[in-house]
């Protein structure tokens, strides 16, 4: 058999365009020929159209090997003989990274792997495009040429169009023999597993419902600018009215989460947003194109913001844009029906959009890019919907109707789970149901160890809707109320009247239970759009917290004035964030005293008791804990920040946050010193933050002498049950021995001890 490399019937420039090629592909698929003959005809047509020396199609087998199924230009004897793993060669690189690669000199790339049997020696340029369907790489389309040049943008666009069409054809099985088609089918429906960020605890199993992005065709330019402007104005008014109606609706959910929807309404009525849309239309664009362009501009602007909380506002803007696009397309309606128990999958989601998905019917949420502070997460908690974020790979591979299981406590997500996983999740769901029943039965019982040591279990909160969990969990107080959320959610600095009304509602909802208000921890790393200040390279260690408040006394005094007024004659607890020095505490106390004097002189009686506390989040404050305690009524160790500064490891950076464990003997010894010094200084010492919800960390803190813990509402029941199974004195002695022994983490030692001591560790 004679064969010459490059003998492809090279077509000169001016070859047919993509439309012609797609028509030709359709003709090939309609022909009554064998699958291999169709493949051979396809690669020949593609090479001719794109004007390339080589076109090859590699298909992924179930063992993750990429096999050459057809080629025009390479040695035909290599077909079905050349096979490579996904970690081998440029073809493997494309499949593994799920990315296109366009090279002028393929041999110079580090992933290049020479295969003599293909006869590819003469070819220099290499264009590889993954063939993807339902998130799965089914194969790779390869275009090569002798000329040492990269492929042009038009050639790449044409090849990508072909790859998209090939994905549909390959997944349909029409190009492949029966067994090969079955292998592709198995790839498309194989089980997938990922671990993301747990957002809302709970176990859920059900059918996938995808929130598909709108892709309706629409004109780019307006035929009649005046008419298009009117059309846009009508659509905006319709969206605004729909949000107004939602807030006015007499539903208990909206009463609990009204402030979240109010913030969304601020976006809908934002004059700047409306003006930018109108400017685009006046420039000659269609209303739909204007919405798309402004949406993209908002995304770019918000992604430049360093604070993760503020970046989450992008989801509200996206939600609003999608609603406007649906309205322009005549698709606006009252809610989106979903099957009962369905699991909603979306890359991003706004709070109002979530409520439209017949939220009462949903069983859970799997989102691609949503943090625990997002509005969607806030509403999901109010709905008690199990939720996991950060698993885009699952969303990309899912299809509506697929089975899915998720655990919102561990972050586990199983797509198309096998029977063994389904059984395990059914058992987990039953165990969780029984556990929740036990926690509910314990909610009015004290958190006391077996040998009589009482622990004050407090709840973290930040919004009015969180306050309902006080009664549900039996928490004795709110140990940390994050007041900065009111500053960050709004479009302007909240007035004294707004703050006073809000704090009064919080205290009313607490029904006599103490609420520890942390003054606004805002600044460089938590900044709303209306705030101005320096952009810092390391904002977590910059101008924020008490530092910023002392430099802007007007902001701090307004908040203190509102807190005093809201409390009336009730006790008031104020907590100062990110304290560095004792001098800062004295300055803050002086500002608070000024407001107390002013209130007593001009308004009336002060709260019956005002307690001022200090958050220990910085090593300098920790080392001076005794002096801090002498100035304060209580200390609260902010474990999350303290640990990241102690280990010099940003907790928001995956590469370093996983390099340390707060259960290390060195950190626990540091905490022991803080607790001892604080107590000897005369202050009560508590602990707050996500760390305290870790049952093993809770055991360590108890052993070190902490008897006040402020945690997420969902952690109170499990921790109370565990505390009631502990013998404090035995635990204290055991931990002392572990710390003396040293090591990088006591996690495994604590697990072994807990099992041997019969301590009930929470599930998950």
User: In the chain, what's the furthest Cα-to-Cα distance?
Assistant: 105
365 alpha-carbon distance from chain centroid: 11
Q: Under a CB-based contact definition with an 8 Å cutoff, are residues 762 and 718 in contact?
A: yes
Q: Under a CB-based contact definition with an 8 Å cutoff, are residues 727 and 677 in contact?
A: no
Q: What does the alpha-carbon distance between residue 319 and residue 640 come to, in Å, rounded to a whole number?
A: 31
Which whole-number Å values give the CA distances from 351 to 123, 135, 382, 581, in the listed order?
Answer: 53, 26, 11, 40
Task: Specify the DSSP class assigned to residue 71.
Answer: E
Q: One of 315, 414, 469, 688 is an active-site residue; which one?
A: 688
688 given a catalytic annotation:
yes
Q: Under a CB-based contact definition with an 8 Å cutoff, are residues 524 and 544 in contact?
A: yes
Return the SS3 of 56: strand
- The token pair at 412 is 């586990």
3-state secondary structure 719-756: HHHHHCCCCHHHHHHHHHHHHHHCCCCCHHHHHHHHHH
H or E segment at 382?
Answer: helix 375-383
Q: What does the alpha-carbon distance between residue 742 and residue 736 come to, in Å, rounded to a whole number?
A: 10
315 given a catalytic annotation:
no
Q: Under a CB-based contact definition with an 8 Å cutoff, are residues 522 and 546 in contact?
A: no
**Strand 708-711 versus strand 684-688 pairing type:** parallel
Q: One of 315, 375, 414, 573 is an active-site residue; which one?
A: 375
Which whole-number Å values give the CA distances from 703 to 361, 708, 715, 739, 760, in the listed order?
Answer: 44, 12, 19, 11, 16
DSSP readout, 206-252? EEEEE-PPP-----SB-SSHHHHHHHHHHHHHHHHHHHHHHHHS--H
CB atoms within 10 A of CB 329: 13
CA dihedral of residues 718, 724, 729, 731 (deg, nearest 10): -30
Q: What does the alpha-carbon distance between residue 269 and residue 283 come to, in Å, rounded to a whole number?
A: 22
410 alpha-carbon distance from chain centroid: 14
H or E segment at 663?
Answer: none
Contacts of 540 (CB under 8 A, 6+ apart): 524, 525, 641, 644, 650, 652
Token pair 């029941």 is found at: 717
Q: Under a CB-based contact definition with an 8 Å cutoff, are residues 289 and 230 in contact?
A: no
Q: List the catalytic residues.
A: 375, 688
């Amino acid at each position: 058999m004679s064969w010459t490399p490059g003998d492809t019937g090279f077509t000169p420039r001016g070859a047919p365009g993509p439309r012609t090629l797609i028509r030709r592909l359709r003709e090939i698929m309609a022909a009554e020929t064998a699958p291999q003959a169709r493949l051979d005809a396809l690669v020949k047509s593609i090479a001719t159209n794109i004007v390339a020396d080589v076109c090859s199609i590699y298909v992924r087998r179930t063992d993750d090997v990429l096999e050459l199924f057809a080629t025009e230009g390479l040695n035909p004897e290599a077909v079905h003989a050349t096979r490579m793993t996904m970690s081998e060669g440029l073809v493997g690189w494309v499949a593994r990274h799920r990315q296109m690669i366009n090279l002028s000199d393929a041999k110079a790339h580090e992933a290049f792997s020479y295969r003599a049997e293909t006869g590819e020696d003469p070819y220099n340029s290499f264009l590889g495009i993954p063939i993807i369907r339902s998130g799965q790489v089914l194969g790779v389309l390869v275009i090569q040429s002798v000329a040492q040049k990269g492929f042009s943008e038009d050639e790449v666009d044409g090849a990508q169009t072909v790859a998209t069409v090939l994905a549909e054809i390959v997944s349909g099985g029409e190009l492949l023999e029966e067994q090969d088609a079955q292998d592709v089918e198995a790839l498309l429906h194989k089980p997938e597993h990922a671990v993301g960020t747990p957002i809302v605890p709970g176990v859920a199993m059900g059918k996938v419902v995808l929130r598909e992005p709108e892709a309706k065709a629409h004109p780019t330019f307006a035929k009649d600018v005046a008419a298009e402007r009117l059309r846009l104005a009508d659509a905006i008014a319709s969206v605004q009215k729909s949000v107004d109606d939602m807030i006015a609706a007499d539903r208990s959910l909206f009463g609990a989460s009204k402030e979240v929807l109010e913030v969304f309404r601020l976006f809908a009525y934002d004059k700047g947003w409306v003006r930018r849309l109108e400017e685009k239309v006046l420039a000659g664009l269609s209303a739909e194109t204007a919405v798309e362009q402004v949406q993209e501009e908002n995304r770019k602007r918000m992604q430049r913001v360093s604070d993760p909380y503020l970046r989450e506002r992008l989801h509200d803007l996206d939600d609003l844009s999608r609603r406007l696009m649906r309205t322009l397309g005549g698709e606006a309606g009252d809610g989106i029906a979903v099957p009962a128990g369905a699991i909603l999958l979306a890359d991003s989601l706004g709070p109002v959009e979530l409520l439209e998905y017949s939220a009462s019917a949903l069983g859970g949420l799997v989102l691609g890019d949503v943090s625990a502070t997002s509005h969607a997460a806030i509403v999901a908690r109010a709905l008690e919907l199990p939720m996991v974020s950060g698993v885009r790979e699952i969303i990309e591979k899912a299809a509506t109707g697929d089975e899915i299981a998720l655990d919102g406590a561990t972050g586990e997500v199983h797509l198309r789970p096998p029977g063994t996983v389904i059984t395990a999740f059914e058992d987990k769901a039953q165990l969780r149901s029984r556990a929740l029943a036990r926690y509910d039965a314990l909610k009015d019982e004290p958190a006391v160890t077996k040998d009589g040591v009482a622990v004050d279990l407090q709840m973290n909160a930040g919004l009015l809707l969180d306050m309902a969990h006080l009664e549900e969990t039996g928490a004795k107080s709110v140990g940390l109320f994050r007041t900065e959320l009111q500053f960050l959610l709004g479009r302007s600095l909240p007035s004294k009247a707004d703050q006073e009304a809000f704090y009064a509602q919080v205290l009313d909802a607490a029904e006599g239970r103490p609420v520890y208000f942390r003054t606004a921890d805002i600044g460089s790393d938590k900044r709303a759009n209306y705030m101005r200040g320096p952009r810092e390279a390391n904002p977590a260690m910059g101008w924020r917290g008490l530092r910023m408040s002392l430099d802007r006394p007007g902001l701090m005094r307004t908040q203190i004035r509102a807190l005093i007024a809201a409390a009336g004659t009730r006790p008031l607890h104020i907590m100062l964030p990110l304290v560095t020095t004792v001098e800062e505490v004295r300055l803050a106390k002086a500002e608070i005293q000024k407001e107390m004097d002013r209130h007593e002189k001009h308004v009336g009686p002060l709260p019956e008791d005002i307690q001022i506390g200090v958050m220990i989040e910085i090593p300098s404050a920790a080392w001076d804990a005794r002096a801090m305690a002498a100035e304060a009524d209580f200390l609260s160790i902010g474990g999350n920040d303290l640990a990241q500064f102690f280990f010099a490891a940003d907790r928001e950076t995956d590469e370093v946050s996983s390099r340390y464990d707060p259960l290390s003997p060195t950190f626990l010894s540091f905490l022991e010193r803080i607790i001892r010094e604080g107590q000897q200084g005369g202050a009560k010492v508590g602990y707050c933050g996500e760390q305290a919800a870790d049952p093993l960390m809770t055991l360590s803190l108890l052993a070190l002498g902490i008897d006040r813990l402020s945690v997420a509402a969902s952690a109170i029941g499990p921790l109370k049950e565990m505390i009631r199974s502990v013998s404090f004195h035995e635990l204290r002695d055991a931990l002392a021995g572990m710390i003396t022994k040293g090591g990088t983490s006591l996690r495994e030692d604590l697990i072994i001890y807990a099992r041997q001591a019969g301590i009930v560790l929470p599930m998950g």
